[in-house]
Amino acid sequence: MKVFSVIGITDSGKTTTIEHIIKELKKRNYSVGTVKHIHFHGFKMDVEGTNTDRHKKAGSSLVTARGEYETDILFQEKLSINEILNFYNHDFVILEGARDTCAPKIVTAHDEEAIEERLDETSFAVSGRIADTINEYKGLPAISAVKDIEKLVNLIEEKVFDRLPDMKDECCKKCGYTCKELCSLILKGKAERGDCILDEQKVVLKINGKAIKMVPFVQKVLFNSVESIVKELEGYNENGDIEICIRK
Amino acid sequence: MKVFSVIGITDSGKTTTIEHIIKELKKRNYSVGTVKHIHFHGFKMDVEGTNTDRHKKAGSSLVTARGEYETDILFQEKLSINEILNFYNHDFVILEGARDTCAPKIVTAHDEEAIEERLDETSFAVSGRIADTINEYKGLPAISAVKDIEKLVNLIEEKVFDRLPDMKDECCKKCGYTCKELCSLILKGKAERGDCILDEQKVVLKINGKAIKMVPFVQKVLFNSVESIVKELEGYNENGDIEICIRK
């Protein structure tokens, strides 16, 4: 699953840019999901006086509205990007306004000062209103989603890679870098997605609590065998971690 | 996790009953979550013209609104009760208006005809407006949530049990009954929650930390498949418990 974020200050063209990207990705037959990060502190989606709002006010800490064609799960907390992405199973997921992620980023802006406010090592393109007047900024291509969507989505296809685990810095760095640093190096062509060490040990097997070493080939055989069965079960999630315990 | 449903025709007092139950359960220090089933076909929670609505209209098939104190995940489909309950981890979950579940049910009504419209083998109490005028109906206690909430919640504590797996009838019946039939027998004191054969499972599967129920046949398939591979590995022990973790 490829994940990237479109960030930029208010009125820089984030949502318009994302609308054009979604449509072009769909045209290219990708499945697309999105996450909108809302900075407004008072945000809530439900409306005063609905039955679901009454549940919440009475003390229900997780409320779901289940309609015939829509199911809305209203968590009363800010979930992390990783927690949210666990619900997704798409070719591309676009984050709007999310900066607390190591995912590659497009910065939208209406002037150069606004670019500077958001630019960091994980940026790979500039877009939004500024892209009407410049073609590049500090080595990054500036491409308008309104005028040149094909070029912008070509760049997305080229640059965005399968999401990194976004581990906390203190938890991993097994490849020698934080996830953000590795993202930056991949975007610059100085590292590869495969350098993430966590990919090499996807399958861990223990017998009576003792780890059994498996060469990658056996890991794959075990993985494929388990996956082929569990994927048919209700509750399966393509991106979900799988745990199996067999008691003898 | 104990799950029950409050069902009843429109204007029979479902939401009011649930509000009182939530408050009393919270007073007794239980954690409570709720699911509102919405029969109105045109239901959607999001509002025309919001950024999240623009994402959806552009073609995003799963949209999340992530605020500072709330995260709303908007699935564009009707999820099953089991799929929804996978998001919950509460002492009690109350379903409003959900009939496609084997969970025990309270029927709310304003007259006896309205009770009959919803009554089935999984009902364990009557409530709503009719409970102002009758004390029981066909052997089921009729208790008003407004006037006698303690008595109603005492009954809920007594009757509602850890949720049954709600397997499709054709998938299990290993205990001799469908989940709905077993629920009915438990409520009548003619069976026990422990009679559900799936609780004995030797093979436990979790995806993203959430337990996935498997009928004995599927448990066996998964067990045989795993065993056939790991028994060839150095360190295998015929009587050893097996743990497998697959990180995606």
Q: Is the distance from CB of B79 to CB of A65 less than 8 angstroms? A: no
Contacts of A32 in chain B (CB under 8 A): 59-61
Q: Cα–chain-centroid distance for residue A130? A: 25
The pair phi, psi for residue B139, each rounded to 5°, is: 85, -10
Identify which of B35, B202, B233 has the shortest CB distance to residue A214: B233
Q: Please state the domain extents for chain A.
A: 2-159, 202-248
> Is pLDDT at B247 greater than 90 in this prediction?
no
Identify which of A23, A40, A76 has the shortest CB distance to residue B59: A23
> Is pLDDT at A241 greater than 80 in this prediction?
yes
Q: Which helix (H) or strand (E) holds B92?
A: strand B92-96
Q: Is the distance from CB of A70 to CB of B99 less than 8 angstroms? A: no
Contacts of B52 in chain A (CB under 8 A): 34, 36
Task: Decide: helix, strand or coil at residue A206.
Answer: strand
> Is pLDDT at A198 greater than 80 in this prediction?
no
Q: What does the block give as tokens for B206?
A: 């979790």
- Return the minimum-mean-pLDDT range out of A166-170, B130-134, B227-231: A166-170
Alpha carbon distance B226, A35 (integer Å): 37
Q: Is the distance from CB of B216 to CB of B203 less than 8 angstroms? A: no
Of A213 and B128, more confident: B128
Predicted confidence at residue B90, as pLDDT, reads 94
Whether residues B208 and A248 touch (CB distance < 8 A) is answered with: no
CATH class of segment(s) B2-159: alpha beta
Among A67, A65, A63, A46, which Cα is nearest to A55's?
A: A63
Task: Decide: helix, strand or coil at residue A67.
Answer: coil
Mean pLDDT to the nearest integer, A168-191: 90
Contacts of B19 in chain A (CB under 8 A): 54-55, 57-58
**Which residues, in sequence order, are CB contacts of B119 under 8 Å at separation 6+?**
B107, B138
Mean pLDDT to the nearest integer, A88-110: 96
Among B247, B91, B59, which Cα is nearest to A205's?
A: B247
- Report which DSSP code applies to A41: T
- Return the minimum-mean-pLDDT range out of A48-57, A125-134, A236-245, B177-186: A236-245
Task: Decide: helix, strand or coil at residue A141.
Answer: strand
Predicted confidence at residue B154, as pLDDT, reads 98
- Return the minimum-mean-pLDDT range out of A194-208, A217-231, B90-104: A194-208
Q: What does the block give as tokens for B117?
A: 């419209």
- The number of CA neighbours under 13 Å toward the Cβ of B243 is 8
Express each pLDDT in B5-60 by its tens digit: 999 999 999 999 999 999 999 999 999 999 999 998 889 999 999 999 999 999 99
Taking the CA of residue A132 and the nearest CA in chain B, the distance in Å comes to: 22
Mean pLDDT to the nearest integer, B89-93: 95
- Report which DSSP code applies to B114: H
